[in-house]
Amino acid sequence: MRLDYLTIFPGYLDALRESLPGKAVDKGLIEVHVHDLRRWTHDRHRTVDDSPFGGGAGMVMRPEPFGEAFDELEVDASTTVVVPTPSGTPLTQELARSLAQRSRLVFCCGRYEGIDQRVLDHAATRAEVVEVSLGDYVLNGGEVAALAVTEAVVRLLPGFMGNAASLVEESHEDGLLEHPVYTRPASWRGLDVPPVLLSGDHARIAAWRRTQAEERTAARRPDLLRPASLGAAGEWHPER
């Protein structure tokens, strides 16, 4: 998978060289290209923004640098342009799985009051455009969101995780939050690991984990439970 990032803060994306994304680059699973959007400006001040038509506070990112970047990077029908924005589709595991199928993602990182709408409209004439929101709050820029989308997507690529089983067991993979996890020591500061986890009985451990996941999801994120799985009083019936 090839990943391109258009940003006015390329240093923000240095994190892509760390940890697992860095290893994915080393393994040849992903190719990462971070571009300073100001490269496609032509004035002395390398301007990327201007005041909004119609008035209002703040500045808007001008369309030309993005357009020139799309041309030079040959953004075409094989590309998915990912635009982080609070107005986008919420980032979920399902969306991450879908994006992990693509061969090329181009992230457009907004700043100020956002990107001129015509950038998205133009991109849609030559590529798929996906607007993604990290959540119902406002960040200063799209870089953090681009990093979050990248982490969620890249760890789903075949060959990325050393142990593919750990992907299957994670929160959201089966529609539930993950059960609590423990490691050594078995007793720490008066807190003991639940005895069932030390029993060696794999069936009992699996059943305990499932129950914990269901109870945790019901308590913390009842919205994740399918309506068909809930009883009239809202109690959880996993077998329904």
Which stretches of the chain bind ligand SAM, using CB under 6 A?
84-87, 109-111, 113-114, 133-135, 137-142, 145
Whether residue 168 is annotated as binding a ligand: the answer is no
Q: Shortest gap between Cβ of 235 and ligand SAM (angstroms)?
A: 33
DSSP-derived secondary structure letter, 185 = -
Report the residue number, 49 or 113, with the smaller CB distance to ligand SAM: 113
Q: Shortest gap between Cβ of 90 and ligand SAM (angstroms)?
A: 9
Other C-beta atoms closer than 10 Å to the C-beta of 168 total: 9
Q: How far is CA 168 from the centre of its chain?
A: 17
Q: Shortest gap between Cβ of 30 and ligand SAM (angstroms)?
A: 21
Report the residue number, 49 or 128, with the smaller CB distance to ligand SAM: 49
* Among 186, 232, 195, 240, CA closest to 214: 240
Beta strands in the chain (DSSP E): 2-7, 31-36, 49-50, 60-61, 80-90, 104-108, 128-133, 187-188, 191-192
Q: Could you tell me the sign of the dihedral formed by the alpha carbons of 152, 157, 163, 169, in that order?
A: positive
**Residue 144 structure tokens:** 């953090």
The enclosing H or E element of 167 equals helix 165-168
Q: Shortest gap between Cβ of 171 and ligand SAM (angstroms)?
A: 20
Whether residue 137 is annotated as binding a ligand: the answer is yes
Whether residue 95 is annotated as binding a ligand: the answer is no
Task: Sort 238 into a burial class: Cβ within 10 Å, 0-12 / 13-18 / 19+.
Answer: exposed
Report the residue number, 117 or 199, with the smaller CB distance to ligand SAM: 117
Whether residue 234 is annotated as binding a ligand: the answer is no
Q: Shortest gap between Cβ of 19 and ligand SAM (angstroms)?
A: 21
Report the residue number, 113 or 178, with the smaller CB distance to ligand SAM: 113
Report the residue number, 21 or 84, with the smaller CB distance to ligand SAM: 84
- Which residue is at the shortest CB distance from ligand SAM? 110
Whether residue 141 is annotated as binding a ligand: the answer is no
> What is the widest separation between alpha-carbon atoms in the chain?
70
| Binding-site residues from annotation | 110, 134-139
| Binding-site residues from annotation for S-adenosyl-L-methionine | 110, 134-139
